[in-house]
Amino acid sequence: MAKLYSIVAGAFVVVAGLSACTRHETHKIRLTATVRAGQARYSGSAVQKLTCAEGGGILGSMNGGWCRFEGEAVFLDIPGHGNLVLLMDTPDFGPSPYPGRIYQDRKSLFGAWKLKPKSMPWMVTFTDPTSPLSVKTVDPEHLDSTFGDGVTLEAVTANYTWDPVTRGNLKTYLPWVNQATDTLLDGGMDSWSNNPAERVHFHDLIGGKNSG
């Protein structure tokens, strides 16, 4: 009974955050990406936490408030092909910022939901994992154009979770994230460039970023 009460209480908090956050609301989600490379299947996931202050809402309507997300981007190693990273950001400047867009395909408070391409986070790869400037944008519907024939995105799913926020995983693959600063990957502060090194922020990889 206590466990059921905890689940229902947690669901209530999420529902409260879906419309708008009054004072502070917090919840956590796990994002999982699964890729097929020939007959092999590879998955990567990360738990991210979102906290909204008064006036902020997770669906992208800020109303004078703000939302802060913590954790790390999803990193997926595809042996023989490279790496795929799902940033804590969206690839365009649409009306619903990250992470609100990923909730558009949610059908229920319980269980995982599958994201459609338009709802997925911005996907990139680092052709040289030792250099942040080697970042390249990846088309989620055409992974083969980046990673070669036979590589396809099987699914990106999201689900609410009580698991700990992911921390320290990215540095295993991208050692320079330990030197992250409050700048874009190229060291700049703001850019409308099509070059992802001039658009991706360090906080898109390691959380601690406010929106709103």
Above 50 in pLDDT, residue 40? Answer: yes
Q: Taking the CA atoms of the chain, what radius of gyration do you get in angstroms?
A: 17
Mean pLDDT of 47-66: 63
**Residue 154 has what pLDDT?**
97
Above 60 in pLDDT, residue 3? Answer: no
| Closest by Cα among 105, 78, 100, 103 to 89 | 100
Is-contact 24 39, C-beta < 8 A? no
Mean pLDDT of 114-121: 91
Above 80 in pLDDT, residue 33? Answer: yes
User: Which H or E element spans position 50?
Assistant: strand 40-52
**Residue 94 has what pLDDT?**
60
Which carries the bigger pLDDT value, residue 54 or residue 61?
54
Is-contact 83 127, C-beta < 8 A? no
For residue 32, the one-letter residue type is T
